[in-house]
Structure 1
Amino acid sequence: MAGAAVLLASVAACGGGGADAAGSNDAATKLAVVATTPEVADFVRNVGGNDVAVTQIIKPNVDPHDYEPTPADIKAIGEAKVVVKNGVGLESWLDQTIESAGFNGAVVDSSQGVTLHEGGHEHGAEEEAHAGEEADEHDPHIWHDPRNAKIMVANIEKALASADSGKAATFTKNAADYTAKIDKLDSDNEAAFAKLPAGDRKLVTNHDAFGYYVDRYQLEFVGSVIPSLDTSAELSAKQLSDLVAKIKATGTKAIFTESSLPPKSAEAIAQQAGVKVIGGEDALFGDSLGAPGTPEGTYLGAEAHNTEVIVNALAG
């Protein structure tokens, strides 16, 4: 725990939520950027540094799947030079909002170049024919594999350099420095899971948000309380009983709740399955980051938190 606490403290200064505080440059000289999600906004801040003014649309612990833009969002987009999105269909509301704002600047899809997962992680090859519309979707939670986060950062660096060529060298250096931190996060995660026996690496979460993470660190995804990539689906009675049975059959030790979703259903399933619920301050960051100004309010801190919580719970 002490080691993880040191790591989280070391990354606390790497980003935050909401609008940027004033930096060393006059605000009027900064590149105005709108970023949709907390993760993307954190990437933009780390690459742009004091040379960008970032407006983050979706605040911490707000479900991005059901987000409805506000008049302030439309105004911010209309005044921006660059809009950066996660992509992969996560921001279904964005195109209409951009049109309403009359925005004609650069729209950056940070997912370009990422190898996408098709359908929900719960749909194995033998289930693909019955997956329905879910099989036609791609999993948008790409940032949970740090290798994908590096691709997103590279896309953002190129876009900022294109929009403000005079600061290109600075953006390139910032991106390189931040990418090194992402590499360390990835290696630390690998080292943490290497200490956990393969038979204990079984994951049950609120919804199917951790497919890329599961694949990166060779976990077994047992199931999710909400059987979907987004959060609008509901667990049927049969799916509930099947999940409880699967948790028991596989010897899964815990159900992990997520910071942006209510824990009630997870708690009920855990009680039926006879396993512990991991929530509260230990809830995972599936769709969001933590509060601004905290270590978990950054991408690096949130991902380090997730790994620490999962490893500690499954090792116990």
Structure 2
Amino acid sequence: MLALFALSAGGCGSGDTSSSPADPARPLRVVATTTQVADFARNVGGDRVSVHQLLRPNVDPHDYEPSPADMRAIAEADVLVKNGVGLEKWLDETISAAGFDGPVVDASQGVPIRDGDPHIWHNPLNAKTMVATIEKGFAAADPGDAAAYQANQAAYDAKLDALDGAIAKKIDSIPPDRRKLVTNHDAFGYYLDRYKLTFVGSIIPSFDTSAELSAKQVSDLVAKIRATGVAAIFSEASLPPKTAEAIGREAGVTVVAGEDALYGDSLGPEGSAGATYLQMEEHNTDTIVNALRGTAA
């Protein structure tokens, strides 16, 4: 499949007479892998970049298949931005098939990694590091607009600092003995570490959503939920809630799903509560706080 895409990408790129990335006549062509790094890229780049986002909202990054349009965008890109930490296992093959040989910005550079967990964006301080790395990548590819990228980064950093403070304040309102989470999969470790929440377990016992619980693991998780007094199980917008709901019924606890589901691996579509990174983390926090405090949204 990728070989066919490579032929398509090569054919479209062969007649390209576009100017260099530094040419002020056109924006820097950026391909971003995930919804999160695409949002960061747009905030850093502003009107000086054109961002092609590979993953669609609420699509599991573990299941991505490149489209012909994606392959063409990669082939013609000035810069490619990835999350890193092994999240995009498909990326190297895709880049090779597209014939892209430009700079790849690994947004995870400089982020302290916990046990190989790729969900680094769920700590706003990590997001600041990611944004700084993206800014450096854009400035290197387009030195003429470096000052604009730096100014955009500074403005977005202020928003991330405000987000971090607001989350901490909201989490502090949860009684300490109720700060316990069960989620669809283990995607929120950085968030839990940052805001001192306890991870009890996940429906999918892995960073990768393709894993499944065995019957014994389901039984053990139900017992742990009951023993620890967990107030709610949180489903995720990009994953089906069926298993979470079954475990919730057996354990006798509320399952937060539907419009209130957390945004874990992906941002939501435009107009949703998780359309941007800032909105996603605010929505997740409000959902967690309301459920664990036992208050209505």
| TM-score w.r.t. length of structure 2 | 0.90
The match for 1:100 among 84, 92, 97 is 97
Quote the Cα distance in structure 1 between the aligned partners of 2:186 and 2:62: 12
Aligned-residue offset at 1:28: 5.4
Matched, 1:148 2:145: no
Quote the Cα distance in structure 1 between the aligned partners of 2:100 and 2:268: 30
Code of the aligned partner of 1:59? R
Q: Work out which structure has the larger RCO, using CA pairs closer than 8 Å and 6 or more positions apart in sequence.
A: 1
Taking the TM superposition and a 5 Å limit, the aligned residue runs for 1:1-316 are: 29-118=26-115, 138-316=116-294
Aligned-residue offset at 1:241: 0.2
Quote the Cα distance in structure 2 between the aligned partners of 1:27 and 1:197: 54
Aligned-residue offset at 1:242: 0.2
Q: Any idea what SS the aligned residue of 1:262 has?
A: coil
Aligned-residue offset at 1:27: 9.9
Q: Any idea what SS the aligned residue of 1:270 has?
A: helix
Native 8 Å contact 1:255 1:266 kept in 2:
yes
Code of the aligned partner of 2:63? D
Q: 1:294 to 1:270 in 2, by over 3 A?
A: closer
1:5 matched residue in structure 2: none
Quote the Cα distance in structure 2 between the aligned partners of 1:176 and 1:293: 26
Quote the Cα distance in structure 2 between the aligned partners of 1:154 and 1:223: 32
Quote the Cα distance in structure 1 between the aligned partners of 2:270 and 2:72: 23
Q: Any idea what SS the aligned residue of 1:58 has?
A: coil
Larger Rg: 2
Q: Any idea what SS the aligned residue of 1:297 has?
A: coil
Aligned-residue offset at 1:78: 0.2
Quote the Cα distance in structure 2 between the aligned partners of 1:233 and 1:310: 24
RMSD of aligned alpha carbons = 1.2
Code of the aligned partner of 1:206? N
Quote the Cα distance in structure 2 between the aligned partners of 1:95 and 1:146: 27
Q: 1:27 to 1:62 in 2, by over 3 A?
A: farther
Q: 1:246 to 1:27 in 2, by over 3 A?
A: farther
Quote the Cα distance in structure 1 between the aligned partners of 2:25 and 2:218: 54
% of aligned pairs identical? 65
Code of the aligned partner of 2:36? E
Code of the aligned partner of 1:43? F
Instruction: Give structure 1 stretches of 5+ with no counterpart.
Output: 1-25, 119-137
Aligned-residue offset at 1:293: 4.0
CA deviations over 1:83-128 (Å, ceiling 9, x no partner): 000000000000111111111111000000010011xxxxxxxxxx
Aligned-residue offset at 1:214: 0.6
1:18 matched residue in structure 2: none
Quote the Cα distance in structure 2 between the aligned partners of 1:195 and 1:254: 16
Code of the aligned partner of 2:253? V
Aligned-residue offset at 1:195: 1.1
Instruction: Give structure 2 stretches of 5+ with no counterpart.
Output: 1-22
Q: 1:259 to 1:294 in 2, by over 3 A?
A: closer
Q: Any idea what SS the aligned residue of 1:160 has?
A: helix
| TM-score w.r.t. length of structure 1 | 0.85
Q: Any idea what SS the aligned residue of 2:248 has?
A: helix
